[in-house]
Amino acid sequence: MMQLNGLKISKIFLRLISIVATASLVGWLLNGSTVKTEAPDGTPAGFKLGMMHGAMMPCAMPNLIMGKDVVIYAPRNNGRMYKLGYTVGVNACGAFFFGLFFWRVNRLRKNFKAVRSALANPV
């Protein structure tokens, strides 16, 4: 059985704390944007708010799983421009996260290739 050293345990703990903090921040931002769409001035949500809702929609999943009901779409919006902003936000968020994921996979593949070649050609 593999034993974990203190450094590895602290990295895991730090990563868990950062995930929880990020999920809490996204939930707070989503609730804040909902309050903004329900402002008493009567202006409906537009392109910029649609982009923000779209970008945060995939990130709302942890809050929804934990039972917190966060609003991910403004019911009072100005129509097509809000929907375009929402679509741009969802696609930008997906491109960012999938880009990071594929970058890490590519880096991991290069590391495996280097290890494999070092094992095949010992000095």
Residue 1 has pLDDT above 50, yes or no: no
Q: What is the DSSP string of 22-79?
A: HHHHHHHHHHHHHHHHT-TT-PPB-HHHHHHHHHHTGGGHHHHHTT-----S-SSB-S
- Over the stretch 7-57, which tens digit does the pLDDT of each residue have? 678 888 888 898 888 877 877 776 676 656 654 577 788 888 888 888 878
Please name which of 33, 43, 27, 42 lies closest in space to residue 86, comparing C-alpha atoms: 33
Q: Write the CB contacts of 58 (distance below 8 Å, at least 6 apart in sequence).
A: 90, 93, 94, 97
What pLDDT is stored for residue 61 in this prediction?
Answer: 76
> Do 72 and 42 meet the contact criterion of CB atoms below 8 Å apart?
no
Q: Write the CB contacts of 48 (distance below 8 Å, at least 6 apart in sequence).
A: 85
- Over the stretch 60-97, which tens digit does the pLDDT of each residue have? 777 778 787 777 788 888 889 989 999 999 899 888 88
